Every structure is written in C-alpha cells, then in structure tokens.
A and B are shown apart, each in its own frame.
Chain A
C-alpha cells in the first residue's frame, strides 16, 4: 500500500522534483558505499530479488486494491544499500510497464526504499533480541516487515499531505472555464470558500482508505516475508547473515 499510485501530473511538480533529487542523492551514496565490494556475486541476486518484487507488485489483490512489495525481503537479502538500488530498479521497470506513473518513480523509490532499509535494520535488531530459536529468522522478518510498512505508509500519507493535493483545487479552473463552457455540465459551484475544508476532508478520506485496506496488506506481507526469510535462512543462511552492503 505504501507504493504511491498517483498518476502522472497530479502531484505538484516541486514535490516530484524533490523526490527525484532525493532518490538520486541516496542512490549516489549507496553506489559509493558498495564501490569497494565485489559486486559480481551480488548482481544476479539483485536481479532475482527485483524480479520477485516486480511480480509481487504487479499481482494485484483486487478486492482491496493492494499489492505486496516484498521490499523488506530485498533489504534483508541484499542489505540496505543494494536493497535501495534494487527498489529503484523495480520502480523504474514497473513504470515502464505503465504501472504507477513515471514521474513518481523518485518518490516511490524513497518510500519503498525506506521499507527496505528500515526493514534490514529492524530485522537485525530483532534477530539479536530473539536470538537463535529455530523460528527466529522468520519471526523477526515478519515483525520487521510489519513495522517498516507502518512507517513507510505513514511516510506515504505524509507525502500526499504535504503535496496538498486537492484535485478539486488543481482542476476546477479548467472545469469552469472550458468544460463548463463547452458542455455546460453541472451547476456552477463556488468552491473557493470551502477550499480549506475540502482539502482536509480529502486527505482524511485518503488516509482512512489507505490505512483500512493497509492493515490486511501489512499482515499478508508480513506473513509472506516471514515464510520466505525462514526458507532462505534454512537453505542459504549465508545470503542473510554474511556481511552485507
């Protein structure tokens, strides 16, 4: 749910630009961080993890308009820096499929990348606390996922809030001056007065929708991540516990 599916051109341009710049800066830092690491073995891992994320993101669970991100898996398996890079790759590629808008790739990478990075650190913190029971890897991963998703979803709602997106406000001029003239649709409305109120209601509805459906999604995603990480930790513990970048 934390993936922003705001179509191109709804968010204000300054926000989109900030999103791209912030993503670019973080990417630069990530790449610098992995510069001295032997990447040969990591590239195929980035490939498959990103591919899994793409499949997850494009399989939409229709009744709740939710899709899983599996970004925490990326964080845990690839580490924060490569995890963030992988999220960027995923966002870029699904934007190429026309999924989710191209201009918001920057913001989406920020939000979903946050999941990967926070997920990684939370996972290791929890793993330390739960130390060495048989299920600890899976459980830590599930908990870490739940927490990171709550954080990233809040971040997403925050972004929508600062964007002050009130489609009414952006679009009403057109409606009155053009569509109103050509088709004379609907009565002429005075929305200027209600503007502030509208905006508030708008973001509230949005947040409620997102949070309500989000709960199901978070649980689902936490369960999936838990199972996957448990599997990986049993078959290839080296992928999870070796030094990461």
Chain B
C-alpha cells in the first residue's frame, strides 16, 4: 500500500512556551488504512493533527502528506483531505445545514450540478436529509457531528482526519459513528486518522494504533492487540488497558493462558471454547 502520510521528529513550541516533540517512532499512514492515535489528554494529539492540516509550522522535523509539505502547500492537497475537529461547532460556517455541507465544494469551484449531486449523496448516506434547512448551531451534539462529518466527506476525500470524534456522544451515537466510518473507509478506500483517549472504541475501528505519551513522544505502534498486550507501554502513557485485555491478564494469574481478544464476541467465543474443552477433559477422566 502506498504511503500517504509521514511525520518524523517534529518539534513545535506554542507561543506560551509549551513544547512538543513528536519523536520516537515515525507516524506513517498508508492508503485506506485506519489509524488511531491513542494518548492521554494533553499529550499532543490535536497538535499533531493541526500540523497535518497545515495550520502549524513546525520549527524542526519533517512532515509529508500526499507528497507535499503540508505546512507550505496545504492548498494543493486540501481537496483530498476531510476534517472533523474536536469541537464540531468550530468548523461549522454557514447558516443552514445544506449551505454548510456544500461549503467546500462551492469554494473549490465545483459546478452547481456537481455540488448538488455530491451533497445529496452524502446527506443520503448519513441519513440527515430531514435536517437540510435547519440551523446547524441549534442541533443536538450527535446531529452536529453528522453535519460536520458530511461537510468533510462531501468531496470524497482520500484521507479523513478526526480529532476525538467520539467525545460527548452517547453509546448509540458512538456505535453509529463507528459503523459509518468503517463503511466509508471500506467503500471509498478512505484512510482514517482518528485521535482518541477512549480505549474501548479502538479495537472496533483501528488497523493500526499509535501510542503517544505526554510531550508528544510516539512510544508504540501496532495492531490493537499488539498494543494492548504491552502493559508497561500503556502505563507509561497513563492509559488503563481495556477491560477485556485486563481480564485476560488476570486470568493468567490463575494459570489460564488464553489468546487475548479485545471484542466481546471474540472473547466470548474463546472463553466458551475453553469451557467446552475443560468439560470434555473432565468427562473423559470421569
């Protein structure tokens, strides 16, 4: 798979003197890959994403998005990238939902018919056609997120960047959103970069997880399973392992060594198999 993002050894200092240094591993994203950046609050996830969006200029290091330095040439690649900011309110611009979703294509100079078709498409896909004439600022949190996402997806980007998209959503909305993102990623081969501090959603959406410690150090990279089995790494980042991961580790203390699994279905399956195995053994002895 082609590499579309690479960030290496970036250094950034906020005007008030807060220093961030994204060192350790390189941050790499491939075409169609679903990447999660996992790190505690204040570790620098948003800062890293802002660099990808060309909003910040690093004082040192290398950043490459779709083959260009995004801090210099973001204009060249902006049509290939969609964004959902941490606080959706901050990216809603226009007075109605329709106007807002069509904002980017209109500004990129698409033809009227094309704009209409694209917006209809995305509205359909996200199931928000009933909101089209409403004022986005007076919608519920979940609806706002969907409007923001629609505005990001409307131009069919190859890379979708989402900053803590699950924050503040109730469990149903959250599962909805996860399903939606997975579908988008599958259907359009859209790469996802999702920052979060919420471990429980990670296994459901990530191909690759990057683990970020305070100050911006990237300390780990791997599949969710690989990351969640490295307890020391997790505690270095002040992240408690997911409940299921912890369960399997506890079981080891009782001498029950099972494959770690991070989704409820899989875990149930493994444990059930083990039971069957035990009971067979017992009846065999008896």
Contacts and interface: CB of A to CB of B under 8 A. Distances in A.
Are A and B in direct contact (Cβ within 8 Å)? yes
B135 interface: yes
A231 B94 CA distance: 8
A235 interface: yes
Interface residues of A, number: 3
In this complex, which of B95, B96, B135, B137 has the most chain A Cβ atoms within 10 angstroms of its Cβ?
B95
Chain B contact-residue range equals under 10
Q: Is the interface of A mostly helix, strand, loop or mixed?
A: helix
A155 B135 CA distance: 40
Contacts of A234: 95-96, 135
Contacts of B135: 234-235
Nearest to B136: A235
A235 B96 CA distance: 8
Interface string B83-100: 000000000000110000
Nearest to B135: A235
A19 B221 CA distance: 70
B266 to A, nearest CB: 48
Contacts of B96: 234
Nearest to B96: A234
Interface in B199-247: none
Interface string A179-217: 000000000000000000000000000000000000000
A37 to B, nearest CB: 25
A157 to B, nearest CB: 38
Interface in A223-244: 231, 234-235
7 contacts: A231-B95, A234-B95, A234-B96, A234-B135, A235-B95, A235-B135, A235-B137
Interface of A: 231, 234-235
* A-B interface, 5 closest residue pairs, ranked by CB to CB distance from nearest: A234-B95, A235-B95, A235-B135, A231-B95, A234-B96
